[in-house]
Structure 1
Amino acid sequence: MWASRGDAMVDEGPMLFALEGSRGFGESVAAELGARLADHEERAFEDGEHKARPLESVRDRDVYVLHSLHSDPGHSVNDRLCRLLFFLACVKDAGAARVTAVVPYLGYARKDRRTQPRDPVTLRYLAQLFEAMRVDRVVVLEVHNEAAFDNAFRVPTERLGMHRLFVPELAPRIDAGHPVVVCSPDVGGVKRAVRFREDLALALDRDVEDAFFEKIRGAGELTLGRLVGDVRDATVILVDDLIATGSTLTHAARSCREAGARRVLAVAAHGAFAYGAQQNLGSDAFDRVLITDSIWPVKIDREALGGRLEVVSAAPLFAEAFARLHGGQGRAS
């Protein structure tokens, strides 16, 4: 928004709030913007209820509220969601000109279709909650299913792609004398892997091949996976949106090794680690596993992994997106 100061018209710039549990990432984004986080208050009450409010005026401002929707030792994903929704509504009630929900990791995004009779489509319900808070836009990093995400929301959305972070990080590490293969651990992620391969091929100025795994799950367990593609003597980059237990990536990495892969690197936007991830990521099938800081990896002992797990900051990507959106330069992604 433009505000008058004397005879000049100046852009007051966007306001960025980061709620408790996401403040570290918010501070990194603010630093990239050359700005500061706006002040707010969060209070917990004895009965388990809470409140949050901005401590400075948001009237007629372009406001961004950042909060990842994952569980950690302090808060469940449901608690984080409730806090975010209430704060978004509070900022809107306080007169903000535009409110953008910035959700680096969007919890519940994987539940995007019915797989059993009377199943919930939780992603669609989540979208309706954001819309009920009257948000003007939702910004996320690398959603599980792009088409399902786009169809769930009725407000403008921005999907920031992790390929823009990982390709510059990995390109200098690729040996010139060996083939390179970008591999999806399942058929559903092929489009994501193809986009990654295209960007990597441009960065390397050479051909990069595709591969993927056919996967069958039964009762939530991986029961069969067949590699489609040639990875012999290649540097293989496994591309996925998130890591939970890591069983899928570990299965894929071992299969690539058995098929003759020279090196296996894995990248995932979100380290949503669950039980079993520590052991799986410690597998010698991986040379490196790269994630972003959309979820800080507090559930895993990075030192015990011997440097195998690397965290690449997504803050520059979000800062660029905010600057473009606030400047009216169209889409951020």
Structure 2
Amino acid sequence: MKIISTERSQVLAARISEKLGVPLVETKFARFPDGEMHLRCGELDDETLIVSSVVNNDMLVQTLLAIDAADRSRKTLVVPYLGYSRQDRLFAPGEPISARAVARALSNGIERALVVNIHDPGVLDYFGVPADDITIAPAIGGYVGDLRLKDPLILAPDEGAAGFAAGVAAVGGWDCDHLEKTRLSGEDVRIAPKTIDAGGREVVIVDDIISTGGTLATAACMLREQGAASIHAACVHGVLASGAYTRLRAAGISSVVSSDTYENASSFISAANAIATAIRDDAHR
């Protein structure tokens, strides 16, 4: 096996290479004057692992090119971040199911796909090949442990993320809850943990993705008012669009971290170990 990656997944691909002990093949990227993407990789083997986060349209095209470049190999595609996956159903007549369109396109020429903490596991059914979801909740739990917080309270931003938060909390046997909105009046809304009082607690809000961070910033301000001793935020996919990082820090969140599924300056957690474990487990079946 050899590993290749697209431009926005180079660091994670190198880490997976180290975990698996398999070569990382150099890949060169260029753009033609008309804007078309160009990719050229080194010599491949009978089996190729392609690591590519689809963080934008260019990376979608690079992924398709990488799949074709490895045409003579058996290919496993690792998509740490799958763009377009949040439009996973028909919301209005005439719209595409974007997750389906992208999953179908990526399925051509590969034998298997792996994604990391996809927002809706139902999207996996759109792939035309076996596709599995990998969780890095334990890795995020490890990071929380490294913070050396005193009896942290792990919070999901809503009930839908409660299972993910429970996976994080299980690492240290910490308390776990999810935030709940209560409408007090036509204009006033209270956001607070459903069952556990945040007063005096060191709180860590965890989620699969932080995009604009607006709701999270509002929740942090309210948790401060409820007496939380400190607030931290950790997610898998740190999109952090539209000034989200500064918005969250200005709201009183002491630290904002994400993983290398979406590589940026906040990527203090790695998905490499979880991905390498899934690859090894598949090889032993």
Q: CA deviation at 1:272?
A: 0.9
Give the drift of 1:190. Answer: 2.5
AA paired with 2:32? F
* Aligned partner (choices 186, 191, 208) of residue 158 of structure 2: 186
Q: Is residue 229 of structure 1 aligned with residue 182 of structure 2?
A: no
Is the contact between residue 204 and residue 233 of structure 2 (CA under 8 Å) also seen in structure 1? Answer: yes
Aligned pair partner of 2:36 in 22, 45, 49: 49
- Partner residue, 2:221: 254
Q: Could you say which residue in structure 1 is the equivalent of 2:131?
A: 157
For the residue of structure 1 that corresponds to 2:138, the secondary structure is helix
Determine helix, strand or coil for the equivalent of 1:22.
Answer: helix
Comparing 309-318 with 230-239, greater Cα deviation is found at 309-318
Q: Deviations over 1:198-229 (max 9, x none)?
A: x23xx33xx5231223399xxxxxx9563223
Query: Which among 255, 258, 269 is matched to residue 288 of structure 1?
Result: 255
Partner of 1:81: 60
Contact 2:217–2:251 (CA<8 Å) still a contact in 1? no
Q: Which moved more, 1:245-254 or 1:99-108?
A: 245-254
- SS of corresponding position for 1:37: coil
Deviation of 1:36 after TM superposition, in Å, equals 2.8
In structure 1, what is the equivalent of residue 115 of structure 2? 140
| TM-aligned CA distance change 1:69 to 1:48, over 3 Å | same
Deviation at 1:291, TM superposition (A): 0.8
- Which digits, 9 at most, give the CA deviation of each residue in 1:230-252, with x for residues without a partner? 22222222111112222122112
Measured after TM superposition, the shift of residue 125 of structure 1 is 1.2
Contact 1:181 1:211 in 2 (8 A): no
Larger radius of gyration: 1
- Residue pairs, 1:1-333, within 5 angstroms: 14-58=1-45, 61-70=46-55, 77-92=56-71, 95-96=72-73, 98-131=74-107, 133-146=108-121, 148-175=122-149, 178=151, 180-197=152-169, 199-200=170-171, 203-204=172-173, 208-214=175-181, 224=189, 226-227=191-192, 228-230=194-196, 231-283=198-250, 285-297=252-264, 311-325=268-282, 327-329=283-285
Identical residues among aligned pairs (%): 26
Distance 2:260 2:182 in 1: 28
Distance in 1, matches of 2:90 and 2:177, equals: 30
Task: Please state how far the C-alpha of 1:255 moved relative to its aligned partner.
Answer: 1.8
Note if contact 1:184-1:213 (Cα within 8 Å) is conserved in structure 2: no
Q: Please, which runs of 5 or more residues in structure 2 have no aligned partner?
A: none
Q: Look up the SS of the partner of 1:114 in the other structure.
A: coil
- The alpha-carbon distance between structure 1 residues 175 and 296, as it changes in their structure 2 partners (threshold 3 A), is closer
RMSD between aligned residues = 2.5
3-state DSSP class of the match of 2:89?
A: coil
Tell me how far 1:18 sits from its aligned partner: 1.3
Which of structures 1 and 2 has the larger relative contact order (alpha carbons within 8 angstroms, sep 6+)? Answer: 2
Which whole-Å CA distance do the structure 2 matches of 1:215 and 1:139 have between them? Answer: 37
- Answer whether contact 1:17 1:65 (CA < 8 A) is retained: yes
Q: TM-score, normalised by structure 1?
A: 0.75
SS at match of 2:7: coil
Structure 1 CA distance for aligned equivalents of residues 136 and 199 of structure 2: 26
Determine the C-alpha separation between the residues in 2 that align with 1:48 and 1:273.
Answer: 26
Cα distance in 2 for partners of 1:210, 1:57 equals 47
**Cα distance change, pair 215–185 in 1 and its aligned pair in 2 (3 A):** farther
CA distance in 1, matches of 2:124, 2:182: 25
CA–CA distance in structure 1, aligned partners of residues 199 and 276 of structure 2: 39
Question: Gaps spanning 5+ residues in structure 1: where?
Answer: 1-13, 71-76, 217-222, 299-308
- 2:168 is matched by which residue type in structure 1? F
